[in-house]
Amino acid sequence: MKQIKTVWYAIILIATLQSYAQPTPPQGKKWEKVEILSDEFEGNSLNTSKWAVNVSTWIGRPPGIFKTNAVKVKDGNLQITNYKLGSAETVNGNRYTHAGGLVRSINSTLYGYYECKMKASRTFMSSTFWLINQRNELSGCNRRVTELDITETVGVNSGGASWINNTIRSMNSNTHSRNVQCNSTPVGQEGGKEGLGGQSWEAYHTYGAWWKNKNEVLFYLDGKFVYKIKPPSDFNLPMYLRLVTETYDWNPVPNGGGMQGSADSRTTYYDWVRTYKLVDDNGTGKNDKVSFKNAPVSIPSKTSYTFNIDYEAKTNREIVVEFWSSTSWLASKQEIVSAGSGTKSITVDLPQAPQPGSGYVYKVHIRPTGTTWRDAINRDQVDNVVVTNPSTQLITNGAYYITSTQSNQRLLSRALEQHSAVMHNPLNYNDQVWMFNHEGNNVYTIKNQGTNRFLEVPNAKCSDGVNVATWTNASGNHKKWKIVSNGTGVYGLQPMHCTNKGLDREKGALNANVTIWGYSKANNNQKWKIISSNNKNLSLENTDDLTFYPNPTENVISIKGLSTNDVVIIYDLMGKIMKKISVNRQQDTIDVSELQSGLYIISIVGKTKMQFIKK
């Protein structure tokens, strides 16, 4: 299948959602998939009702010979692996030293849309996707050759010419007319080229061609129209699909044979081949369709992902979402939708969190109920997904109370105190609520929800005892705060213009002014709890009747003192429900192994709440 600081940031910036569909059909028409000329290559062997791996009249251009053992279906790809022969072979007077592969369609085709998703090999041999007719099937002036090359490339420049380097980095298309029977038939070639933005062997790309009529072929790269070619002669003869790796005389075998790389580097990967034809649209506007809705292309490494799928269904259908690495299927989830249209949320659970890296892929298809992927009616796909390391962001963006660890008093700022920051007993007012916005590396702007003013050190002063206040904007480092961990659920806040200072409750007093002071992790006046304002009474301790243990925990948390039909809910600090169960005994054990490390709230509905730490 599909195949970090500054570097990760660059990857995330350039990652784009690649969800491809067919070109817009003409008015009154729609695209219909041609199954006998399409394949997702999801099985363990080549579908011989669709494909053959030889052509009796062509065994390969010397010194490359086609070998059936170079071709296999594995890990969701058709793979053609080039290699050097153990000893040279001579056939019909030609000497062969290297093996490639040829896969051809059993059935021919005329006009339509043809596309494949391919990653080239990193060798001097080719990686290709094209169509050609069989001259011996025709007669008269039609006894000629038409060839439509959707793309042809190589992975290494062994020929030395500079134009070969451009070939490696481009989609290279061509149309050929040759071996004509009648002098009136034109011969020659017409081509086009479009840059890939990288080497052809570095990533998968979708190469497509809309063979509209005898005089016009439109070409598409990664779902985008790139150029149009008028063939040198009438392209009105049925042709066969070909997926081929071969040798070229302009890119000869390099010294040493050119096959020293790994099998992966010597392999051309075809994720899929899809063919569509235009048919009349009956005007109902109801086709079975699926597509990802705003799917992210950069995700943290975790064991569960939820996708929103837009769909149209003529009748009850199954929708299947799959999660793939760059080489193999990882997990999938199937849901049934009723006839109609809408958006379906589907959660895919993975057996383990994916390794950080690039090249991950989401797939979705819609199919009749009770069938398999082979019966998919419509598909969508998102490529080049980047999985990042789990976030090191300490505080999720949101609304919080900034609370003393020594009392229940909270940080407040309001006009009554000329917008100075002071400690106050808990009240149900927004001037005690602070909006945290992460700017990177655990640096935040902190805005008072009641006044819309930002926490600051006035005039960017940096001396002990300076009162902290708020201001109307967040420009300047004296209005930005570094959050540092200082124990379980305990934090320090340091102004970015002088990070050797910390947010401090003056002399540790109740109702104190809040200042900055030389930062020390041991200073209790600089220890703060940052508690989501979406949850009230989060710090309640165990009641006499209820006991929670262990805390912190890694896999389970046990509760004693429950009653039948008690409801246990686990929230994150933003108030999102992570788990909800009903119990039927006085003691129960709750599995929390799937939770990410962090601080959570466990609630016995109507009785109590308590914070716990998932290690």
Burial 142-176 (b: 16+ CB within 10 A, else e): bbbbbbbbbbbbbbbbbbeeeebeebbbbbbbbbb
In angstroms, the CA 485 to CA 470 distance is: 23
Q: Which of 32, 40, 147, 318 is catalytic?
A: 147
Identify the CA nearest to 251 among candidates 193, 194, 172.
172
Tell me the two tokens of residue 485.
């961990």
In angstroms, the CA 124 to CA 161 distance is: 13
Tell me the two tokens of residue 23.
């070109």
Q: What is the CA radius of gyration of the chain?
A: 32
* 304-313 and 289-292 strand pairing: antiparallel
List 84's β-bridge partners, or say none.
98
In angstroms, the CA 3 to CA 7 distance is: 19
Q: Which of 152, 318, 322, 456 is catalytic?
A: 152
Q: Does 456 qualify as catalytic in the annotation?
A: no
In angstroms, the CA 406 to CA 297 distance is: 43
Q: Does 312 qualify as catalytic in the annotation?
A: no
List 272's β-bridge partners, or say none.
117
**CA–CA distance from 405 to each of 162, 401, 414, 490 (Å)?**
68, 12, 22, 8
For residue 142, which amino acid is it? Answer: N
> Where does 462-606 show beta strands of DSSP type E?
469-471, 481-485, 491-495, 501-505, 514-518, 528-532, 547-549, 556-560, 567-571, 577-582, 587-591, 598-604
First to last CA, the chain: 35
**How many Å separate Cα 155 from the centre of its chain?**
25
* DSSP sequence for 77-99: EEEEE-EEEEEEEEETTEEEEEE
For residue 487, which amino acid is it? Answer: G
Q: For residue 372, what are the contacts with CB-CB under 8 A and spacing of at least 6?
A: none
Question: Which residues are part of the catalytic machinery?
Answer: 147, 152
